[in-house]
Structure 1
Amino acid sequence: MTEPTAHQKAEALTQEQVADYLRSNPDFFVEQDELLRSLTLPHDSGRAISLVERQVHLFREQRDTLRHELVELVSIARHNDRLFEKSKRLLMLIIEARSLNDMAAAIDDSIRGDFGLDASSVILFTNATLPASPEGALQVVAPDVALKRLGNLLDGQRAVCGQFRDSERAFLFPGREEPIASVALVPLRTDKLMGVFAVGSREPGYFDESMGSLFLTYISDTLSRLLPPILQQHTSVASVADIVAESR
């Protein structure tokens, strides 16, 4: 093969072909020490560096990236662990509650104390009469009223997070001197919609559509199972009280 012909053949090689060959033969430079030392690459500093130096630089960048990701994962794991402990304490208080108002008080204390949020709300949708007036975080409203005030926020199964309309925030957290700016709401469901559990913050950007809501779902699932028997018990007590009052 003449020199011009060899040169033309070399020129016919593309960058992709060279890259594919080196990927297929990662040990190519093992027996090519002189070639390896002669290869140079541009560096951010402006000077040329050897291929070995470039590899070391890339390995260090990868190491730093992995270290940063590991630190983030550890931080997230610690945050989730603290969140789980807070959720567990709250659920124990909910399980031990003997009335709807006790349950609502436990939720309100935990959400504002343990979780550091500004407000919580448990709204039950029922036309039944309860023996005691709702207190604290507890509200009882007729289903048609709730549907009118919250609309499509009640359609899904999962938490809805974001900056709700003024009328929706006022309905969820009534009578507040300092208004709630950001809300996370999750429906309470059994075989049907029975209410909502909501938490709020005065900070506008605290809740958004992308944030996780695992702990809210965890708590709402427990409430959805515990509330029906307690609500039935309260309804029965109220019915007995009405019968006694009518018989006098």
Structure 2
Amino acid sequence: MSPHSPLPQIAPITEEDIVEYLAQTPGFFERHAELLTSVQMVSPHGHRAVSLQERQAEMLRDKIKGLEQRVMDMVRNAHENAAIAEKVHQWGCDLQRIKVPTDLPDAVVRGIRTLFDVPQAAVRVWSVAPAYANAPVTWGASDDVRAFATSLTMPFCGPNLGFEPVGWLRGAASSDGSESNEVHSLALLPLRDGPMDRATPAFGMLVLASHDPHRFEATMGTDFLTLIAEMASAALARLR
């Protein structure tokens, strides 16, 4: 190399280089253990300097707190699900005790409002036996609603976009005195023979409604709503 040639440029050492070196040199801190006691870090709980060991202990405590919160949430959800399951069982038993088929629609709606704390509910069925063709539960379900019910393979949950079944709530008793025009969220449950996801035509629809816009949301789980729909379907099948 000529004495007048420029010196080669050396790339500066980056943090990534240091991390890579330490990862590839596991014995480094064994040979330089004094560094572990001299390293000072800023604590997230206040802005005081703490040792590396203290910072690791704080991180571990924070992780334990997060895990404890998750366990508490799981226990709470388990208790809530057990309570709902018990109410579903009670509701199913109440429906089986109904002797007169024409009493079933009111029993279905009344049980949902009282046991599950749903402000408003209504139900309509079609393709019923001739003896029940003029029952109030068969009134007001257009061909569009019937086709929509058949297209659903799971409960629909979301905001009130002016769905026709909301009109079924007018004149129906509500648990909180609210009117159908105050419905801000609802659940639409198709009624059909067999599991809800089966491609068989629906013979009815159950509408649950609330003035709370967050009561029935598109992102909510629908397992219990599906169970309610299947149990209501089994009970109201006696009208067919």
TM-score, length basis structure 1? 0.74
Q: Which amino acid aligns with 1:89?
A: Q
Equivalent in the alignment of 1:157? 153
Equivalent in the alignment of 2:119? 118
Q: Distance in 1 between matches of 2:24 and 2:235?
A: 62
- Contact 2:109–2:123 (8 Å) recurs in 1: no
Superimposed CA distance per residue, residues 127-174 of structure 1 (whole angstroms, 9 cap, x where no aligned partner): 653348646xxx2147xx433357646522111112223452543313
Q: Which amino acid aligns with 1:140?
A: T
Instruction: Return the offset for 1:31.
Output: 5.1
Greater helix share, 1 or 2? 1
Q: Distance in 1 between matches of 2:128 and 2:109?
A: 24
Cα distance, 1:112–1:129 mapped onto 2, change above 3 Å: same
Q: Which amino acid aligns with 2:125?
A: L
Could you say which structure has the greater relative contact order, defined with CA pairs below 8 angstroms and 6 or more residues apart? Answer: 2
Q: Distance in 2 between matches of 1:165 and 1:111?
A: 22
RMSD: 3.0
SS in 2 for 1:107: helix
* Residue 199 (structure 2) pairs with residue 203 (structure 1): no
Counterpart among 212, 231, 238 of residue 239 in structure 2? 231
Instruction: Return the offset for 1:81.
Output: 0.7
1:1-248 equivalences under 5 Å are 12-23=12-23, 29-30=29-30, 32-44=32-44, 45-126=46-127, 128-131=129-132, 134=135, 139-141=137-139, 145-149=141-145, 152=148, 154-166=150-162, 168-176=164-172, 178-180=178-180, 181=183, 182-190=185-193, 191-228=200-237, 230-232=238-240
Superimposed CA distance per residue, residues 176-231 of structure 1 (whole angstroms, 9 cap, x where no aligned partner): 47324121111112332111122222323321111122111012123334443x12
Instruction: Return the offset for 1:108.
Output: 2.4
Gaps (5+ residues) in structure 1?
Answer: 1-7, 233-248
Q: Which amino acid aligns with 1:107?
A: V
Choose 85-94 or 38-47, whichever is displaced more: 38-47
Cα distance, 1:82–1:27 mapped onto 2, change above 3 Å: farther
Percent identical pairs in the alignment equals 26
Cα distance, 1:130–1:27 mapped onto 2, change above 3 Å: farther
TM-score, length basis structure 2? 0.76
Q: Which amino acid aligns with 2:216?
A: F
How many residue pairs match? The answer is 218
SS in 1 for 2:203: strand
Instruction: Return the offset for 1:38.
Output: 1.1
Instruction: Return the offset for 1:41.
Output: 1.6
Instruction: Return the offset for 1:80.
Output: 0.6
